[in-house]
Amino acid sequence: MSNFVLIHGSWHGAWCWYKVVPRLRAAGHHVEAVDLPGHGRDPADPAGVTLGSYVERIGAAIARAPGEVVLVAHSRGGVPASQAAERYSERVERIVYLAAYLLADGETVLDHAPHDRDSLVLPSLRFDPDGHWDMLEAAAFEPALYADCPPEDVALAHSLLVPEPALPTRTPVALTDDRYGSLPRTYVELLQDRAVTLALQRRMHAAVPCDVRAIDASHSAYFSAPDELAALLMTPR
């Protein structure tokens, strides 16, 4: 049995894993999908949300698990996953990055995202005038995030996506070789991704080496390929 902690990406919440969670639990695994502060059922003001508060939320889920955990992070959720792995390394078995931001020590999302020229996210990203959050225009949800997803999941997302707090995006990760660097890492490429493009995925995992797997899906494989994703999570190399 494994203990999975599932970490959503930008604008989403624990709800986005609703197809994956029961598949993992049916196989006997302990699973918790977290709502990061300011997402899902957590109404925190984006202005007060920090990378540290994300890490503490993940840490609470790690503490509830009955043993070492597998952190599974999607998209921008890769940033707090890496920082949580650093802080709680003694409780982490491995980290799985699902088309996620995989940063080296001292980097932020802004070291990578602006250079992802083929991403459909960047042209449709809108920012709070006070700099507290960003949000994707609704017209871009389907082409950027859900191109191969069932229409009912696209409709669900339209009703549940929320603005993304900005501070975690601007905060550098602080990672060490002894803690984070000692943990096994798997990167799952999403081959049709138009949000975090395949080119960017490959640049990141070339710089921070991982075991690499792939799913032929767009950015939200937890909706479009839940069986394949769950099977991959349960069969690490």
pLDDT single digits (tens) 148-200: 999 999 999 999 999 999 999 999 999 999 999 999 999 999 999 999 999 99
Q: What is the pTM of this model?
A: 0.98
Instruction: Report CA 113 to chain centroid distance, whole Å.
Output: 14
Instruction: Name the amino acid, one letter, at 134.
Output: D
User: Helical H runs in the chain?
Assistant: 20-26, 51-64, 78-87, 151-160, 167-170, 198-207, 221-224, 226-234
Residue ranges making up the domain that contains 179: 3-234
Report the CATH number at residue 79.
3.40.50.1820
Q: Which of 179, 206, 175, 186 is nearest to 51 (CA)?
A: 175
Q: How far is CA 42 from CA 36, 123, 162, 233, in A?
A: 7, 28, 11, 27
Q: How far is CA 43 from the centre of its chain?
A: 19
Which residue of the set 12, 193, 205, 224 is catalytic? Answer: 193
Residue type for position 50: T
| Residue 193 designated active-site | yes
Whether 124 contacts 140, CB under 8 Å: yes
Per-residue pLDDT band for 237 (boundaries 50, 70, 90) equals low
What's the rounded Cα separation, in Å, for the pair 101 and 113? 9
* Structure tokens given for 165: 């707090």
| Strands in 66-215 per DSSP E | 69-74, 92-98, 125-127, 133-136, 164-165, 185-190, 211-215
Q: Convert the pLDDT of each residue in 57-88 to its tens digit.
A: 999 999 999 999 999 999 999 999 999 999 99
pLDDT digits (tens, 9 = 90+) for 102-153: 999 999 999 999 999 999 999 999 999 999 999 999 999 999 999 999 999 9
Count other Cβ atoms within 10 Å, centred on residue 204: 22
Report strand pairing: 133-136 vs 125-127.
Answer: antiparallel
Counted domains in the chain = 1
Question: For the purposes of burial, counting CB atoms within 10 Å of the CB of 168, is it exposed (0-12), middle (13-18) or buried (19 or more)?
Answer: buried
Active-site annotation holds for 132:
no
Q: Which one is catalytic: 53, 75, 82, 119? A: 75
**Residues 75 and 9: beta-carbon distance below 8 Å:** yes
Active site residue 75: yes
Q: Looking at this protein, which amino acid is placed at residue 14?
A: A
